Amino acid sequence: MSEGEKGKLEFLSEAEEIIEALGRDLVLLDESLRVGPPDPDIVNDIFRSVHTMKGLAGLFGATTISQLTHDLEAKLDAIRLGRAQLTPDVLDLLFRAVDVTHRLLVAEQEGKEPPVEQLEALLQKLRGTKRPSAAAPASEELDLDPSIFAVLTEYEEHRLRTNVEAGLRIYRLRVQFSLLTIDASLEQLKAMAKPHGEIITYLPTGEGTGADSIELDILMASKKTLIELGELLGSLGGTIIEVAKRSKRPAASPTSEPPELPVIEAGTSARAAAEAAIERPGTRPPAPVRKEAERRPQRTSSVPPPDEGKIATVRSVTQTVRVDIQKLDRLMNAVSELAIVKSSLDRLFERIRPASSDRRGIAELVRLSRTFDRQLEAMQQGILEVRMVPLGQLFERLTRVARQVGRNAKKQFNLVVTGAETEVDKLIVEELSDPLMHMMRNAIDHGIEPAMRRLAAGKPEVGTIALNAFQKGNHVLIELEDDGGGIDTERVLEVALQKGLINPADVRSTSRRDVLNLIFMPGLSTRAQAGEISGRGVGMDVVKTNIAKLGGVIDVQSEVGIGTKFAITLPITLAIIRVLVAEVEGHTFAIPLANVREAVQLSESDVFTVDGHEAMTLRGSTLRLARLSSIFELERGKRAHRSTKKFVVVTMAGSARIGLIVDLLVGGQDVVMKALGSSLRSVRGFAGAADLGEERLGLVLDTPSLYEEIVASDRRRGTVARPNG
């Protein structure tokens, strides 16, 4: 790979992170706009992110992205400087701009043509708003000491003007920080000060106690009085003064000087502060602010450093590296090869162990083998942890989609997100994006009712959509739930009969759950006309197929008038899985242990027929059976197991279970699953292939899709499968 290609990959990776940060900040900005004026800190963060993106795009020749971010930056600059208002329509425009930027980024990554029409339309809107004339300089407009403005940026001057016009007091807080903890101390200062006002700027004084500390003047706007602020920020250990305002009375004689406002040591009690203020004559000449440090003991801040990991310092940022996931795949493959070699060594050891008389040597080999196992497991776990990313990255995109779809559909709802910190394999997050986007659109368009209909039904005017995630063993559960109108099962059954998706003779014996699962059948829709947002609702079959490709299952529960809940169960990772190796007619299969409930020995006398398919009684309930030899039409191979004994592997497909009949159980094994070639990729029932060692390859079963294939086969034969929970 050339240096140019490496640089482009670095740009794409960093740009993707910026897009995620922009989406997250826009959602926060939307929330702040709903309850009051926009948070200036968030606006400024968005501006800085767009500015960074513009610079990166220009550096790496991404012209279209550079052009868009240039105009977006200008719009944001006008907003943050008060030259343009942030209305809901403008916020929509910002969301669209970030979305188009992401599409341009994807086009750049895949070498495709950018969406030119969308880009041109967006650029026209970004440039279309006329800027109001620039405000007069704050030094002329406001009754403040002009010396304050000499070191302020245009944005800081705007924030100062805005706060003064709003009637807030302006304070200068002087503190000293150790250079070793400057980043952490500033973060803690911001956290302490933000609830009580706005920090406008940080100004180094040029003074301090030496090379190991720095003194800052911090300009802050607040409604609090000087005494109140002194007590609230007491732990900082500095001094606070209220900045003097210029008098509007006629100019005094050259010898007269403005009165000095009280100087309060941070942490001073209210009584002591009041006494200090009273004792100061209003006509005393003021001491220069920079000399205040000379009148008090010089010290570093008493702010304790935060816990490691909670606040990113400059040093911690430099220790973060980006790793191409393909490199992790190669590393995982190498670890897998080590595991195979280890298994081969174990089998060789078991063969020579009975013949060896060196007990001490055997004991040492056992000890080394166990140590090797522990280290190998630690390596696997370490690589898996590097591949894991929080679902919050995906949930933030879903939040943006939900907001836009809700506005287009004129639906009112609250989106409640929990479990965003839950981690899964990065590849799963990427592949899960489209299915969840489709489901979110359906929940808004098909689920949440219009406000008037909700009120008529006795529901709150504003609906609720809940997006939840949590880990359960080696799986992650993702739930998407709405309190909308629910799924009309009678209508679903009617349409399924019209389209021939179900045998009329089976209607009476079809359970409500089976009817709900019909929404995952290709082509089923209860809408006569396509909607603008989610069409006719067709596409849940694609959702189910995509989730099955990830080794997951999707289940649905719904009640008319109450709402609908979709539950997706997924493995945490696809990189390495634990499987149960089994043989059928001499062919080797690997069944993911995450989908295995138990395995039992089978006697043919225990098998009986129900509704045209084989079953057995297990722990008091009927278990549907399926012979892998029949499903895959296997011929007896040379290595076929000759024993009359057979085994049943009880596997789970969501809440349904089915028993797979196999000839031999070989044992459990960790494997790295590989994608199938083009000739087998379209065959349902297989998730991939794995190297099992000793020149053996095994097909990894996709038990959810295998179950679906069995059910579909039953329908073709005119029978209905009876899954057991």
Is residue 97 within 8 A of residue 68, CB to CB? The reply is: yes
- Owner of token pair 């949930």: 395
**Angle ∠(553,557,562) on CA atoms, nearest 5:** 150
pLDDT in tens, 181-192: 777 888 888 888
pLDDT at 417 (0 to 100): 93
* Percent of the chain's residues with pLDDT above 90: 15
pLDDT at 157 (0 to 100): 78
Mean pLDDT of 638-660: 79
Mean pLDDT, all residues of the chain: 77
pLDDT at 544 (0 to 100): 87
pLDDT at 306 (0 to 100): 41
The pLDDT of residue 535 is above 60: no
pLDDT at 233 (0 to 100): 77
pLDDT at 600 (0 to 100): 93
pLDDT in tens, 446-503: 899 999 999 999 999 999 999 999 998 888 999 999 999 999 988 888 888 888 777 7
Spacing of C-alpha 604 from chain mean position: 50
The pLDDT of residue 395 is above 50: yes
Domain ranges of the chain: 3-128, 138-247+258-304, 325-388, 391-571, 577-717
pTM: 0.65
pLDDT in tens, 669-683: 888 777 777 677 667
**Do 3-128 and 391-571 come out as alike in CATH topology?**
no
As a whole number of angstroms, the distance between CA 337 and CA 339 comes to: 5
> What is residue 494's three-state secondary structure?
helix
pLDDT at 486 (0 to 100): 92
pLDDT at 639 (0 to 100): 60
Which amino acid does the sequence have at 669?
Q
pLDDT at 208 (0 to 100): 57
Confidence band (pLDDT; 50, 70, 90) for 608?
Answer: very high
Write the DSSP symbol of residue 523.
T
pLDDT at 462 (0 to 100): 93
The pLDDT of residue 661 is above 80: yes
The greatest distance separating any two alpha carbons of the chain, rounded to the nearest whole angstrom, comes to 115
**And the tokens for 167?**
């009637």
Give the ranges where 233-299 is alpha helix by DSSP (H).
Answer: 270-279
pLDDT at 660 (0 to 100): 94
What is the fold, at CATH topology level, of the domain defined by 577-717?
OB fold (Dihydrolipoamide Acetyltransferase, E2P) (2.40.50)
Domain made up of 391-571: CATH architecture: 2-Layer Sandwich (3.30)
Query: On the CB side of 39, how many CA atoms lie within 13 Å of its CA?
Result: 17
Mean pLDDT of 692-710: 82
Which residues are CB-contacts of 331 (< 8 A; sequence separation ≥ 6)? 383
Is residue 233 within 8 A of residue 268, CB to CB? The reply is: no
118-152 b/e (C-beta count within 10 Å ≥ 16 → b)? ebeebbebbeebeeeeeeeebbeebebeeebbeeb
401-420 b/e (C-beta count within 10 Å ≥ 16 → b)? bbbbbbeebebebebebebb
Which residues are CB-contacts of 540 (< 8 A; sequence separation ≥ 6)? 438, 442, 519, 520, 524
Confidence band (pLDDT; 50, 70, 90) for 426?
Answer: confident
Which residues are CB-contacts of 434 (< 8 A; sequence separation ≥ 6)? 546
Lowest mean pLDDT among 247-251, 418-422, 468-472: 247-251
Lowest mean pLDDT among 60-64, 111-115, 528-532: 528-532
Report the CATH number of the 3-128 domain: 1.20.120.160
Q: Looking at the chain, how many residues does it have?
A: 725
As a whole number of angstroms, the distance between CA 436 and CA 418 comes to: 15
pLDDT at 642 (0 to 100): 63
